[in-house]
Structure formats: structure tokens, C-alpha cells
Amino acid sequence: MDLIILALNLSLLTYVIGGLILGLPIPYASIKRWGPRLIADAVAAAVIASSLAIILGIADTLLAALSVDWPSFYEWLSARTAELAAAFATLSYFSTVIKGGEYSFLSSPLSMAASYISTAFTSLKMIYMLSSVIYTFRERLAVMGVVLYAVPFRIGRGVGGFMIAASVVMYVGFPLMPSFVAAFEGATAPPPVSGASDTYILHVVDVGGDPVPYPIINLYAEEYSTEPVGVIVGDSNGDAVLGDGLDVLPQNFTLATKVGFMGYLFTPDPNEIRHDETEWILRLTSLIYSEGLAAAIPPEVSLRKAELAEGVIRLDIEASAETSLPLITVASDTVEEVLLDGSNASCGWGTREWRGIELKECLLSLGPGEHEVVVKHAGA
């Protein structure tokens, strides 16, 4: 090869330069110490250039000894790509179908899983591109590495050494990847999980201790996470079951909770559940609920007293600033009267949908100070 001859000539040039520097009649040790270095570099470059065919042959011998080959590697890579493509298409389809529907709360976890698969796709693309370069241009990379390695004064020694090593190590390493991945998957221990029979009962109640029907309990790995790791739907009594052989739970878990109800997301008290207690009461301190009618207490409002009677909610509240008090009810409920401080309040009821349920909502305007709110309704 012409490049091999060039590498040998460069090594000879390096040797000559080293000999000249070594024989210079100058008292500068910092310069003269380059003489032995260049001579050693020249000898090493000449040996590598002369034995390059042997070095490349060692890689082929290793592949044969390990019973792996490049066609099998590309078959494995194609199979993995097809699996990821099928999974990505399936998740994207279901995420699009359920968005805006009854099971829209599943859209976020599905989208997150699809993003992980997309990241895996990117990794496979990089592996495919790099492996194609190594497989196609292995000999050229090795020869170019020898040429750079032989350049005097170690100008290209680092890059050249890397190219020579890559032409051997990566040439053997990529076909070994399927075996390595299989061994890694087999050696990975399953994550510790709680016992299959562990059951945790969650009771969701409003500020007065009355059950909140059909709450949506979002579970988070951390308190300030935005993506839930699990979602549980409670029953008509506000009770939900976690575990009971249906959920895979880590050992010694602590999960932050938020509760969705009538289109609002509430932080309960306590705001987390742990493995050391099997029954939890999640109190929504900013929610009042009675017979299909709910009042969501905003942060600017403090509740002094709440009285619930059949068809009547009476609230004594204090607002620290100008704000609005959301009143939400199901569409089948008839709100007969809304009184604010003893007078009829102007309350325009708008309609919206939550999880397939038709709702009506009124934003009752409040000024700073103490207020009495009375809502009379027929009940759901």
C-alpha cells in the first residue's frame, strides 16, 4: 500500500530527526531529550506499519474464536429496530386515540414511554452508523492511523493510536454486542417489590370528612414530579385499593399523591403514602363536597366554618385578596340560589366535561374580607 510506504518513510524521517537532535552539540537538555523519544517513536511506528496485516488478522481470529460475525450482528440490530418501531407506533397510536377521551389520563404515561423509545432509536442509529464505518473502512482507518502515528514530534500519535485501536477493538466489539446485551439482561436482578398480597386502602374525603366519590388519585415518585407513576380511580365511597396483587410496588416505597376531582387537582393531607401503613385517609382541605356540588377553596381563601344540610351548603370564609370561589356541580343538579353575604350573587354557570361527565361551573367573585356563601341546590 502507498500509505504503508508513506508511514515507513515518515518513521525513517522521525528516526533521522531523532538521531540529529541526539547528536547536536548544544547544552539544552530539554531539546536533546527529544532525540531518544523520536528514535523510539520511529521504531514503534515502523514495527506497527510492518505488522499491520498481522494486527488486522488478529481481529478476524478473535471473531472466529468467539463464534460471532458481522452478518449476525446486523440481523440482531435489524430485529431490535423492528421491535422498537412496532412499540413506538403502537404507543403513539393509543396515545392519540385516548387523548381527550375517558382514559385521557393514560396519555401522559404513554407519551413518556414513546419518548424513551425514541431515545433508544437515536442510540441504535448511532450504533448503526459507527458500526458501518468500522466494517467498511477498517483497513483504511488502520492505515491512516499508522501514518498519523509515524508523523514526527508526536503530532498525530494520539489520533493515530486511537484509529489503530478502533479498527481492532470495535471490529471485534460490535459483533459481540448481542451476546453482551443478552448476558446483561440475564444478569440483571429484578427490582425489589413488595409482597404480592400487600394491600393499601386509600380513603379520599373532603375538608369535613365526607367521602369524595370517584376520585382520581395520582401517584408520584417525588413530591414535585409532574408525571405520575400510577393512577388509581376510587369508587363511589371515595375508596381506592393499591396493591392487592394487581400493582407492582417497590419495597419501602414513599409515593407523593394528588387527587383529581371535577376537573381540579388537589393536594391532600397527608400528601404522601408509605409502605409502613396499609390504610390512609387523604383529606382534601381545599374541597367541600355535598350531593354533587363542590366548592374548590382557592389559596387566597381561608375556611372558617362549613355547614352542610340537605340541599344547602353554608360557608363562612375570609379572602386575603380579590379572588374567585369555584362552585362546580354535575349537569343534572339544579342550583336554585347562590347567596353572597345575604344577597343574590351574580353567577354565570358555564358547562364543561370531565372524564365524560357533564359539569356546570360558576366562579363566584370575592373581595378581600369575611364572607358568607350559601348555595341551595336540588342535589344530583
* Residue 193 belongs to a domain: no
pTM: 0.48
Cell numbers 413506538: residue: 88
Residues 337 and 235 in one domain: no
pLDDT at residue 256 tops 70: yes
pLDDT at residue 379 tops 70: no
Show the cell assigned to 361.
Answer: 361551573
Residues 40 and 109 in one domain: yes
Cell numbers 392487592: residue: 244
Residues 223 and 153 in one domain: no
Residues 228 and 246 in one domain: yes
* Residue 192 belongs to a domain: no
Mean per-residue pLDDT of the chain: 84
**Predicted confidence band of residue 293 (pLDDT cuts 50, 70, 90):** confident
In the prediction, which pLDDT does 196 show? 46
In the prediction, which pLDDT does 97 show? 77
Residues 73 and 165 in one domain: yes
* Residue 50 belongs to a domain: yes
* Residue 45 belongs to a domain: yes
In the prediction, which pLDDT does 341 show? 82
**Predicted confidence band of residue 136 (pLDDT cuts 50, 70, 90):** very high
In the prediction, which pLDDT does 94 show? 79
What CA–CA distances, in Å, run from 357 to 292, 329, 354, 360?
A: 12, 10, 5, 10
At residue 27, the 3 state secondary structure works out as coil
Domain that holds residue 115: 2-187
Residues 144 and 231 in one domain: no
**Predicted confidence band of residue 164 (pLDDT cuts 50, 70, 90):** very high
pLDDT (tens digit, 9 = 90+) per residue, 5-61? 999 999 999 999 999 998 888 888 888 888 899 999 999 999 999 999 999 999 989
Residues 117 and 208 in one domain: no
**Predicted confidence band of residue 137 (pLDDT cuts 50, 70, 90):** very high
pLDDT (tens digit, 9 = 90+) per residue, 185-206? 655 555 555 544 578 888 999 8
Please tell me the distance from the alpha carbon of residue 314 to that of residue 274, in angstroms, as a whole number. Answer: 35
Residues 316 and 169 in one domain: no
Among candidate residues 173, 172, 146, 174, the one with its CA nearest the CA of residue 160: 146
